[in-house]
Structure 1
Amino acid sequence: MVIETKKERRYILFALIVLGVYLSPLFILQENAHIRVHDNLDSNLAWYKVLARSGEMFGSVNAVIPQIINGQLSRNAFGTEYSVIVWLYAFFPTMIAYGLSQALTRVAAFFGMYLLLKDHFMPEPKWLSIKVGASLAFALTPFWPSGMLSTLGMPLALWAFLNIRKHEDTWKDYLVLTLLPLYASIVLGFFFFLSAMVIFWLWDVACGRGWNLRFLFGISYMSGIFMLVEYRLVYSFLFSSAPNSRDEYFHAHLPFWRSVRLFVKNYLVGHTHVMTVHTLIILPATFMAIYIVYQKKLWEQEKLFVFLFGLNIVLSLWYAFWFYQGWLPLTKMFHFLDTFNFARYHFLRPMVIYSSFALSLKIIALHGFDGVKIAKLMVVAQIVFLGLLNDEIVYREKPTVKEFFAQDLFTEVKDYIGLKPEQYRVASIGIHPAISQYNGFYTIDTYNNFYPLSYKHQFRKIIDKELAKNKTIEKYYDKWGGRCYLFTAQLGKRYMIKKDSKRHLKNLELNTEVFKEMGGRFIFSAIPIDNARQNKLLLEKVFVSKNAAWKIYLYKAM
């Protein structure tokens, strides 16, 4: 990357300072910081630590993780050892690793979007402030942390591919295509990006632009690198014949009008794993721009913007209607349509939305009344709005990382039990199993979406009567089952019961015999169980700590 002017350097330096300020709570507060719980604290952060301790970092494709579900969880379920994020958590304390991961992702996202806009979408120097502003906004989006560059790395990859397509490629482009697979996931973004590139290449061929073998080689090269990095996933997909929990994931269940409603919601608001925060500012900007294009007949002049505007709609439609029940005949014929989530083409939307945002600001600046001022106000407003969505603000009512994992509290529990953790198994009620796993306990419950189907069915026998009393959790477990939890009809899908709760579990009906058959010996309950003896459970002790968000009622299976 060549920074051409002092003004450009100042703008980029300012953007990096903003990113630094945004990230600063993670490094200043560390374990006292507030961060996302869903698909983050409740899962991935614990998984990285479990993997690092397991001794199976480089385990074979047939290796298992002993600490979870009696050694029936495949090592492959924790992904590749050739991902940088795995090593961050192996080498650094949790919050240092988390902060470094956030910084790496956001800086790469900023420069990727800036290069894409600068070299391909908006090459005119006069749009510098819009290009830097839109790129900074893109880098500030509240992306799913363990997704790494799976979505936020797409602009950088597209920049490299467009260079190759135009035969203006250098070693830098191939370096990008080589390094991105080391910090991104193919199933969480780049399968959909690369297949979109194949469609792009085919479109070029159909339009008479030639076969462009260099472009095709670039796509094949990056796909090959991903296949090597993600060899565990490839092995599991191609050679694993044993039924797993994903075999009971059924996506095609929505009637037509529910799918329409989901389309509207996704288009206007977005999705938790690819949060774009586009509703209040970006959406009006794109509507203003498309109105200007329509009014002034700028279809040919602004065809890239029009294409992105339409693509955004198509991606939301695809996402919503992937869950339409009309797919059922096909899913019965082709089982992989259920086990692989093709709805994730909408993971392209962050790149599409923020690229179209930059282009819409350019259109407004060129053709709108007092357009330059409005465009600058909009990009500043979006940056400020995203800044206010910092995790430390959004999750301030949630437990801190220290309070969530509650290491002091669980050390007390471990010391009280007095046995080596591998000598017994535990399960949790009212808190995530990831907490126990993070603290070194061996658990029969877990949150994973790839484990033996036979285990899911066996575990169900423990909670069979509870599921029968609550259709919501029954459907949640049977039609998905990623959360293999001790669900109760009373708590439903609430598994963060804090220590100040006044709740009691009443009329609990667990099959304790099956619990013990599966190796279960202790239950960590966040609230007291009034009919513990009827469930053949004995309250051993209650644990509480000022540094923990939870109170633990330790029950022993009799």
Structure 2
Amino acid sequence: MMVKTTQEQKYLLFALLVLAVYLSPLFILQENAHIRVHDNLDSNLAWYKVLSRSGQMFGGVTGVIPQIINGLLSRNAFGTEYSVIVWLYSLLPTMIAYGISQALTRIAAFIGMYLLLKKHLLPGEKWIPLNSFAALAFALTPFWPSGMLSTLGMPLALWAFLNIRKGEATLKDYAVLTFLPFYASIVLGFFFFLSAMAVFWLTDVIRGKGWNGKFIFSIGYMTFVFMLVEYRLVYSFLVKGVPNSRDEYFHAHLPFWRAVRLTFKNYLLGHTHVMTVHTLFILPALFIAFYFVYSKRLWKQEKIFVFLFGLNFVLSLWYAFWFFRGWVPVTEKFHFLNTFNFARYHFLRPMVIYASFALALKIISLQGFSWSKTAKWFAVLQLMFLALFNDEIIYRQKPTVKEFYAEELFQDIKQYIAMPQEKYWVASIGIHPAIAQYNGFYTLDTYNNFYPLSYKHQFRKIIEKELEKNKTIRQYFDQWGGRCYLFTAQLGKRYMIKKDSKRHLKNLELNTDVFKEMGGRYIFSAIPIDNARNNRLKLEKVFESKTSAWKIYLYKTF
């Protein structure tokens, strides 16, 4: 338990109040809230619902999800049942679960960064305000929701590891290492963090600091807990099953100068799954602090800041050059380099950037009274800027959760079809298949990156002529295929066509014979298909609702 001074209590209460205000729209608005669509509403939130009603929560490692792609989707594609987030969505309404998950993640992120700074990077009461603001800023970053503590939990884990490394381990440290794996993902953050910790330990050995058995044991211990929690992932990786969609994933495609450009883009702007919002205020603070270190020869005193400053760029460099086509000969020899995304070492950047931000503010504030005021303004402006990245602000032009999943509208479609949903298969055009899945429909299309390769090839026959007409979607499907959608050349990668659209699909060429062979009976299209009869499709009815973002044209095969 943290020992708090009156000053510390004041700042901690302020931080918790800010977090409460920041999170309040989720609990007040609930289904009327605006939240992230990409890799969230279009996927994970629907997956949790599908899993909870599938009867496969504890399904075996060879089990399948009956509702998706003819029952060929592996149960393992939906992750472990020992993740807390899975149970939140299983036991609670979607937006209550979402709000609680956001609160748990942001509070743990604040506590972890605050403890890390207070104990190991900026100890002393003098730095309590700075530590509080930096930790709060870190907790307000717009992290990827289903990543949970995969990135934002790293400071808490590092705090525990550093305690153990110094020989000051307590039960609290091992409790952190034990429970974090139940609310984080090893492939979405902690594989890279733990391997970095192993390098850290090895560096200590090389520098003559001894073998530190407790430190390496703690790294192994947390890895072991992750392996137990993520046993489905371990099984899928170690046991060679049928070829899957990841076997055609191709990442090494960038020429050298495009990789260089991506390096600086990532360094300056970050990445959608680990948004750091660091460009306007944090980067200038880092460069100002680095200037003072350089001009005053503070290399030894500020070696941690200098290390983090350099590491930040190296992580962006590694991320970008993972996609450099020079890797091709290596990936051809070692296939797992294509199926596992080693670029994700850049997921360490949120922790690195905000820890170095705190150190930079300290360096700036030590340069005199006026610079001390400048450091405070950097902290305040960063917090204000992050507040503008609240979901309710940045996604205000997107559908609300209620409008996105459109349960009332799809209930009308279900009643119109008037057959048990498991008796027929559907696919969607112009909207994400996750919407139909969320509403209980059995879909031939899906968004998953781990499904049988044979199914991908079979599904491709349905859209083969459309792919031939559009290079972008052809490469997108063939070289990745995570979105196994009814792509059309006209719409390309647009799958959120709202009900006020005036578009019509013209010259559509689907192989509906293959669609029917796969069990397909209905297509939910967001826009009318002008040549439906040429595709052996009949318009049954048009569905619309005030609570839906979509207008659905229900087509039936004949």
Shorter chain as denominator, the TM-score bin is: over 0.9
The offset of 1:520, in angstroms, is 0.3
Distance 1:529 1:368 in 2: 69
Distance 1:435 1:531 in 2: 25
What secondary structure is seen at the aligned counterpart in 2 of 1:503? coil
What secondary structure is seen at the aligned counterpart in 2 of 1:54? coil
Give TM-score, length-normalised by structure 1. Answer: 1.00
Distance 1:530 1:369 in 2: 70
Distance 1:226 1:213 in 2: 20
Corresponding position of 2:302: 302
**Residue correspondence of structure 1 range 190-201 to structure 2 within 5 A:** 190-201=190-201
Corresponding position of 1:172: 172
1:409 paired with 2:409, answer: yes
- Matched length: 558
Which amino acid counterpart does residue 315 of structure 1 have in structure 2?
L
Conservation of the 8 A alpha-carbon contact between 1:3 and 1:9: no
The offset of 1:241, in angstroms, is 2.5
Distance 1:546 1:389 in 2: 28
Distance 1:202 1:528 in 2: 62
Distance 1:10 1:238 in 2: 51
Corresponding position of 1:434: 434
What secondary structure is seen at the aligned counterpart in 1 of 2:487? coil
Which amino acid counterpart does residue 484 of structure 2 have in structure 1?
C
Cα deviation code 1:466-502 (max 9, x no counterpart): 0000000000000000000000000000000000000
Corresponding position of 1:142: 142
Unpaired segments ≥5 residues, structure 2: none
1:15 paired with 2:15, answer: yes
What secondary structure is seen at the aligned counterpart in 1 of 2:330? helix
1:73 paired with 2:73, answer: yes
The offset of 1:369, in angstroms, is 6.2
The answer to which of 308-317 and 237-246 deviates more is 237-246
Which amino acid counterpart does residue 103 of structure 2 have in structure 1?
A
Distance 1:400 1:4 in 2: 41
The offset of 1:313, in angstroms, is 0.6
Conservation of the 8 A alpha-carbon contact between 1:292 and 1:368: no
Distance 2:371 2:97 in 1: 43
Distance 1:51 1:368 in 2: 58
Which amino acid counterpart does residue 483 of structure 2 have in structure 1?
R
**Residue correspondence of structure 1 range 248-287 to structure 2 within 5 A:** 248-287=248-287
1:505 paired with 2:505, answer: yes
Corresponding position of 2:380: 380
Distance 1:93 1:238 in 2: 35
Distance 1:372 1:422 in 2: 65
Distance 1:531 1:329 in 2: 46
The offset of 1:4, in angstroms, is 2.5
Cα deviation code 1:88-115 (max 9, x no counterpart): 0001000000000000000000000000
The offset of 1:242, in angstroms, is 1.1
Corresponding position of 2:225: 225
Corresponding position of 1:362: 362
Distance 1:188 1:238 in 2: 18
1:41 paired with 2:44, answer: no
Distance 1:274 1:242 in 2: 32
Distance 2:24 2:552 in 1: 33
Cα deviation code 1:211-260 (max 9, x no counterpart): 00000000000000000000000000000331000000011000000000
What secondary structure is seen at the aligned counterpart in 2 of 1:273? coil
Corresponding position of 1:521: 521
**Residue correspondence of structure 1 range 101-500 to structure 2 within 5 A:** 101-367=101-367, 370-500=370-500
Distance 1:241 1:233 in 2: 13
Which amino acid counterpart does residue 56 of structure 1 have in structure 2?
Q
Which amino acid counterpart does residue 452 of structure 1 have in structure 2?
P
The offset of 1:370, in angstroms, is 1.0
Conservation of the 8 A alpha-carbon contact between 1:543 and 1:552: yes
Which amino acid counterpart does residue 215 of structure 1 have in structure 2?
F
Distance 2:45 2:4 in 1: 41
Distance 1:201 1:369 in 2: 40
Which amino acid counterpart does residue 37 of structure 1 have in structure 2?
V
Distance 2:468 2:27 in 1: 46
What secondary structure is seen at the aligned counterpart in 1 of 2:523? strand
The offset of 1:270, in angstroms, is 0.2
The offset of 1:125, in angstroms, is 1.4
Which amino acid counterpart does residue 297 of structure 1 have in structure 2?
R
What secondary structure is seen at the aligned counterpart in 1 of 2:53? helix
Which amino acid counterpart does residue 515 of structure 2 have in structure 1?
F
Distance 2:386 2:2 in 1: 28
Distance 1:396 1:251 in 2: 33
Unpaired segments ≥5 residues, structure 1: none
Cα deviation code 1:1-60 (max 9, x no counterpart): 323201101100110000000000000000000000000000000000000000000000
What secondary structure is seen at the aligned counterpart in 2 of 1:189? helix
What secondary structure is seen at the aligned counterpart in 2 of 1:301? coil
The offset of 1:535, in angstroms, is 0.2
What secondary structure is seen at the aligned counterpart in 2 of 1:106? helix
Displaced runs of 4 or more, over 6 A: none
What secondary structure is seen at the aligned counterpart in 2 of 1:541? strand
Cα deviation code 1:377-429 (max 9, x no counterpart): 11011011000110000000000000000000000000000000000000000
Which amino acid counterpart does residue 84 of structure 2 have in structure 1?
V
The offset of 1:169, in angstroms, is 0.7
Distance 1:241 1:293 in 2: 54
1:91 paired with 2:91, answer: yes
Which amino acid counterpart does residue 457 of structure 1 have in structure 2?
H
